[in-house]
Amino acid sequence: MATYAVEALTLSARALRETDRVLTLFSRERGRIEAIVKGVGKPGSKLGPCAQLFTCARLLLAEGKNLDVVAQVEVVDTFPHLRSDIWRTAYASYIAELTTKSTEVGHPQPEVFDLLRETLEVLQKGADPEMAVRRFEVHWLAAMGFAAVTSQCASCGAAVPLEGTQIAFSPAAGGVVCAKCAPTRRGIPVCAGTLRTLEALGERGSDRWLRLRPPSQVREELRRILRRHIDYHLDLKLRSLEFLQRLARAGGGDRSVEQEP
């Protein structure tokens, strides 16, 4: 069998027989990969680390008919702090599932790999998890070809003043819409702070977003418009989002996930 080497993140793992696992990996070189790793349930397995969620590793795989086979593993990072906090684990699971369900096997998307790894790194280091995930959504939408327009009205192209007028966001139009277009494009009202924060999250090569401390209204509006934007363009049923909803209801304090049925 032909072999190949990649650097990949483990997005999911499920049992196959007693000691084998089927992995969903996301690599810089080949995009999403479905692979089997054998014998990881046995004590002392050298391949075991790659079956742990969110692990980044350099892998040697053999091409298979249905599933490729993991032959060698060299761990780069395991992001241990993600698994020590239930919220960070839940957010990491959400972006992993979002990546899995929006990409195809064998289609390289290096910008998505870089975004995914960077987001796991900032979550690991203690960044505001809600804002880290909002930033992921903004850049992920851009990588998928659905970047939100924020510099002008996405419907008519007119300038959208940030003060003294109604601002709205329309998933159907593809971004911010002016007061004139908002009613016909089913715009969702947002405040100026939400638009400014959305623009900051979309900046490339800048860490300014790490210093953002938006109030609850801005956080709620960002969550809502990005969730609606994703749902409008990509009809994805995400179990991890359902878990975040249950976690929010149980904890009662996090408003960064969708609360509606």
114-170: pLDDT as tens digits:
999 999 999 999 999 999 999 999 999 999 999 999 989 999 998 888 775 678 999
Cα 154 from Cα 142, distance rounded (Å): 15
Give the CA diameter of the chain. Answer: 66
The mean predicted confidence, pLDDT, of the chain is 90
Predicted local confidence at residue 42, as pLDDT: 81
60-75: pLDDT as tens digits:
999 998 999 999 999 9
Domains of the chain: 3-78 (2.40.50.140), 81-148+165-251 (1.20.1440.120)
pLDDT band per the 50, 70, 90 thresholds, residue 258: very low
**Does the structure show a pLDDT above 60 at 4?**
yes
Contact 8, 33 (CB under 8 A): yes
Cα 86 from Cα 176, distance rounded (Å): 34
Q: Which residues partner with 167 through β-bridges?
A: 190
172-227: pLDDT as tens digits:
999 999 888 888 888 899 999 999 999 999 998 888 899 999 999 999 999 999 99
- Mean pLDDT, residues 92-120: 96
pTM over 0.85: yes
Q: For the range 39-48, what are the long-range contacts, defined as Cβ-Cβ under 8 Å and sequence gap of 24 or more?
A: 45/19, 46/73, 47/72, 47/73
Q: Is 80 helix (H, G, I), strand (E, B) or coil?
A: helix
Q: Which residue has the higher pLDDT, 18 or 230?
A: 230
Q: Considering the chain, what percentage of its residues have pLDDT values greater than 70?
A: 95
